[in-house]
């Protein structure tokens, strides 16, 4: 499998859990995979598909996602197609014929197709080796994105009782997981649950005050990178997009109120890097397979942690560091409460309020944000410092908070434990408004006794007091503060209290990769990638991902041998793209007088130390593209006999090769087959002698291979 991983996808190592999952699938067992966005779910069925003899069916709910996946597979030399409503009847018929002819290895299908009896009959006639159900949570009514058309998948087990199924999702509670397994009738399925910790994501919360200037500052760090900004309303998305365009950003709005054509245009422009910033409602993102999103901003905080986690999961899917910034203000709570109040079922309403409270707690944390999120999803995070959230990355300057904390606790007692953080801060700051006056709290002894801290700073101190359990915060529609026994003891005693000093919003600069690469060359390679992508009408990441370009801009490969060792360079991309990219790299290094850096050995099918492995892999890739043997030999500067040796090695490894396209004269096959039967096939010399030297050893070896291949 590592040979296939390198050959087609250009990588040397599996991500966590991938190898174990793939092994289970190859053993033809049913499999359930819960893996966060960006964890590498697709490879768990794409790689086994290359090993199996027959076709792999992939059920996917999203047209855009299907196209992206198929474009990416085809760029790696894998025959993949999709069938959905975006195709004409003629296009679908052509795919039917190619599939029946054994030309397609992976076929993506929309779930509604399985409701058609004619489609069921057709797909049942195919040699199906594996069925993958992507976004499997869509089949469950308990899931956050239930789709009725997914119920059609109940036919799968009846149509293919002996074919292994793999169900994959990024978000599923225990209840949803159980429902998926039951609905798909997975048989003794092995369950794989990956860690929810996305180490490359950096989490920050920013006070939503003077928000738009702060947004401009954040986006300025990512001016040439892809960013998503989530807004609460359609009107807000259009307003923010318009203001960003006015500030020189390539941005566009996306929401459900736009026409289908406008939504498609916005999405395509973003995926193909024609615009850098999408400003959208939560309607945007499902099915976006763009791996190089460097920034996700929530301009209004989300209503649930599940939604928040799914949305930030669209950042950094290529594994490179990416920022996730949430603007937070208690005032935005009213926006969410308006919709929660429309829920008539009291149990559902209560649960929605509880989830909103959990999200607010996240926004007000004084402890590690990642630890909080992972604990919510049932995962323990043992480290004290995650190294990738604003709280853990901020140097804490401690100060004596004894007096101000006593004033805060006193204010909570004087207002009878009935009010929230913002109200307490306003009382302490001496802010006169109608509510404070009506409650008579402007006449309290604590009114206006804090002048040396702003409302925001008081809010941060209150958050610390909640975290230290001097105060409790009730979760509900109106979260109020109440003093705890520990808080009462503190007020009565003489204990000193030191806590971190309140700080203004700081968004730490994050590294953009693990290499200190040449940024000028990286930009030139990005421009080249974009140009090639436009010509091929595919997203730029289909050509190469950012990580591959960063490696090129760091190691500065000067020849095919070195280029083959760059991550993401498989056989087909080595053949199709090495010359083009090497031209840019060599030209740049010559002008700048830069020396290449030797690429370290990696524990897998690397090619530098074993050039024979490289050429055999190239041969395998070119055969998959049905290139004539003479042309394969010419491309690599090798003899036909060497290419035939490669074919023998590949077959001996137990891998499938489609040799039916090879143009070999039938009369040669007939004569050699006769000699083959008469003299046996253990050695070539007896066959050569039997034929009186009429055919070369290369001819005989190739004929023997073709005869054996046909017998299979």
DSSP string for 211-244: HHHHHHHHHHTTTTSEEEEE-SSHHHHHHHHHHH
* Alpha carbon distances (Å) from 147 to 42, 55, 150, 351: 21, 26, 6, 22
Please check whether residue 419 is in contact with residue 481, taking contact to mean a CB–CB distance below 8 angstroms: yes
Annotated domain spans of the chain = 2-193, 201-393, 398-500, 519-599, 612-711
* Alpha carbon distances (Å) from 445 to 409, 450, 661: 13, 11, 92
* Alpha carbon distances (Å) from 613 to 5, 76, 605: 14, 18, 8
Residue 351 pLDDT class (50, 70, 90 cuts)? confident
Residue 612 pLDDT class (50, 70, 90 cuts)? low
CATH node for 519-599? 1.10.150.80
Residue 68: φ, ψ to 5°: -60, -45
What are 491-519's pLDDT values in tens digits? 988 888 988 887 766 555 555 556 689 99
pLDDT for position 105? 94
Q: CATH topology of 201-393 equal to that of 398-500?
A: no
Tokens 């030139």 sit on residue: 524
The CATH number for 2-193, chosen from 3.30.365.10, 2.40.50.140, 3.40.50.300, 3.30.300.30, is 3.40.50.300
CATH node for 398-500? 1.10.10.10
Please check whether residue 572 is in contact with residue 77, taking contact to mean a CB–CB distance below 8 angstroms: yes
pLDDT, mean of residues 263-269: 89
Q: Is 282 exposed, middle or buried (0-12, 13-18, 19+ CB in 10 A)?
A: middle
pLDDT, mean of residues 594-623: 66
Q: What percent of the chain has pLDDT over 70?
A: 93
| Measured distance CA(516)–CA(522) in Å, rounded | 11
What are 277-297's pLDDT values in tens digits? 999 988 786 657 789 999 999
- Which range is least confidently modeled, 44-58, 239-253, 391-405, 545-559? 391-405
pLDDT, mean of residues 322-344: 90
- Across all residues in the chain, what is the average pLDDT? 86
CB-side neighbour CA atoms (13 Å) of 359: 27
| Measured distance CA(421)–CA(187) in Å, rounded | 52
The gap between the terminal CA atoms of the chain, to the nearest Å, is 22
What are 427-436's pLDDT values in tens digits? 999 988 889 9
User: What CATH fold (topology level) applies to the domain 612-711?
Assistant: Arc Repressor Mutant, subunit A (1.10.10)
| Measured distance CA(166)–CA(631) in Å, rounded | 39
Tokens of 684: 């070539």
* pLDDT of 203 strictly over 60: yes
Please check whether residue 18 is in contact with residue 43, taking contact to mean a CB–CB distance below 8 angstroms: yes
The CATH number for 201-393, chosen from 3.90.1170.50, 1.10.287.130, 3.30.70.980, 3.40.50.300, is 3.40.50.300
Please check whether residue 454 is in contact with residue 434, taking contact to mean a CB–CB distance below 8 angstroms: no
Q: Are strands 471-473 and 80-83 parallel, antiparallel or unpaired?
A: unpaired
Tokens of 69: 């996946």
What are 673-696's pLDDT values in tens digits? 888 777 765 567 777 778 777 888
Q: Is this structure's pTM higher than 0.85? A: no
Q: Which of 341, 383, 343, 335 is nearest to 359 (CA)?
A: 335
Please check whether residue 202 is in contact with residue 508, taking contact to mean a CB–CB distance below 8 angstroms: yes
Q: Rounded to an integer, what is the distance from CA 212 to the centroid of its chain?
A: 28
Q: Are strands 55-59 and 106-109 parallel, antiparallel or unpaired?
A: parallel
């Amino acid at each position: 499998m590592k040979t296939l991983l390198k050959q087609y996808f250009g990588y040397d190592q599996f991500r966590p859990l991938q190898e174990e999952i793939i092994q289970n699938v190859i053993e033809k067992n049913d499999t359930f995979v819960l893996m966060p966005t960006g964890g590498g779910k697709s490879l768990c069925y794409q790689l086994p598909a290359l090993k199996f003899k027959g076709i792999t069916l992939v059920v996917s709910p999203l047209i855009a996602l299907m196209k992206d996946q198929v474009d990416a597979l085809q760029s790696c030399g894998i025959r993949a197609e999709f069938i959905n409503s975006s195709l004409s009847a003629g296009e679908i018929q052509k795919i039917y014929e190619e599939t029946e002819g054994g030309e397609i290895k992976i076929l993506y299908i929309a779930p509604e197709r399985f409701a058609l009896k004619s489609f069921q009959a057709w797909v049942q006639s195919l040699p199906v080796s594996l069925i993958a159900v992507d976004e499997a949570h869509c089949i469950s009514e308990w899931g956050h994105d239930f789709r009725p058309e997914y119920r059609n998948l109940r036919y799968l087990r009846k149509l293919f009782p002996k074919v292994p199924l793999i169900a994959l999702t990024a978000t599923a509670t225990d209840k949803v997981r159980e429902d998926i397994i039951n609905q798909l009738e997975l048989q003794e399925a092995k369950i794989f649950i990956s860690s929810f910790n996305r180490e490359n994501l950096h989490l920050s919360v920013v006070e939503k005050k003077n928000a738009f200037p702060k947004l401009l500052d954040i986006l300025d760090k990512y001016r040439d990178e892809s960013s998503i900004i989530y807004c609460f309303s359609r009107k807000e998305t259009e307003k923010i997009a318009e203001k960003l365009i006015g500030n020189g950003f390539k941005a566009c709005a996306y929401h459900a109120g736009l026409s289908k054509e406008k939504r498609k245009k916005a999405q395509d422009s973003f995926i193909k890097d024609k615009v850098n910033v999408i400003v959208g409602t939560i309607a945007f993102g499902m099915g976006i397979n763009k791996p190089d999103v460097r920034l996700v901003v929530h301009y209004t905080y989300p209503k649930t942690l599940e939604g928040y986690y799914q949305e930030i999961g669209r950042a950094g899917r290529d594994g490179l560091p990416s920022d996730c910034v949430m603007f937070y203000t208690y005032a935005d709570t009213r926006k969410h409460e308006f919709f929660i109040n429309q829920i008539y079922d009291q149990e559902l309403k209560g649960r929605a309020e509880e989830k909103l409270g959990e999200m607010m707690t996240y926004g007000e944390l004084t402890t590690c944000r990642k630890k909080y999120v992972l604990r919510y999803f049932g995962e323990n995070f043992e480290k004290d410092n995650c190294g990738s959230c604003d709280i853990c990355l901020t140097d804490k300057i401690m100060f004596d908070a004894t007096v101000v904390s006593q004033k805060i606790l006193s204010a909570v007692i004087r207002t009878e434990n009935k009010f929230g953080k913002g109200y307490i801060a306003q009382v302490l700051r001496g802010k006169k408004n109608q509510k404070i006056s009506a409650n008579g709290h402007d006449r309290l002894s604590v009114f206006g006794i804090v002048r040396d801290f702003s409302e925001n700073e008081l809010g941060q101190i209150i958050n610390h007091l909640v975290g230290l359990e001097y105060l409790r915060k009730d979760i509900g529609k109106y979260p109020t503060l109440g003093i705890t026994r520990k808080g009462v003891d503190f007020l009565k005693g003489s204990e000193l209290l030191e806590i971190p000093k309140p700080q203004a919003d700081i968004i730490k600069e994050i590294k953009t990769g693990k290499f200190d690469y040449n940024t000028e060359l990286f930009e030139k390679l990005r421009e080249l990638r974009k140009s090639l992508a436009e010509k091929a009408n595919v997203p730029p990441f289909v050509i190469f991902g950012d990580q591959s370009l960063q490696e090129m801009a760091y190691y500065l490969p000067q020849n095919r041998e070195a280029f083959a060792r760059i991550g993401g360079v498989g056989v087909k991309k080595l053949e199709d793209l090495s010359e083009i990219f090497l031209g840019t790299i060599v030209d740049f290094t010559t002008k700048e007088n830069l020396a290449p850096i030797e690429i370290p050995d990696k524990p897998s099918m690397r090619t530098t130390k074993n050039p024979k492995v490289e050429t055999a892999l190239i041969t395998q890739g070119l055969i998959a593209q049905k290139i004539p043997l003479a042309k394969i030999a010419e491309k690599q500067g090798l003899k036909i006999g060497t290419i035939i040796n490669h074919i023998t090695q590949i077959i001996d490894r137990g891998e499938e090769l489609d040799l039916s396209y090879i143009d070999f004269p039938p009369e040669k096959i007939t004569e050699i087959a006769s000699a083959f039967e008469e003299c046996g096939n253990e050695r070539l010399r007896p066959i050569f002698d039997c034929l009186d030297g009429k055919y070369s050893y290369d001819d005989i070896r190739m004929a023997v291979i073709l005869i054996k291949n046909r017998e299979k």
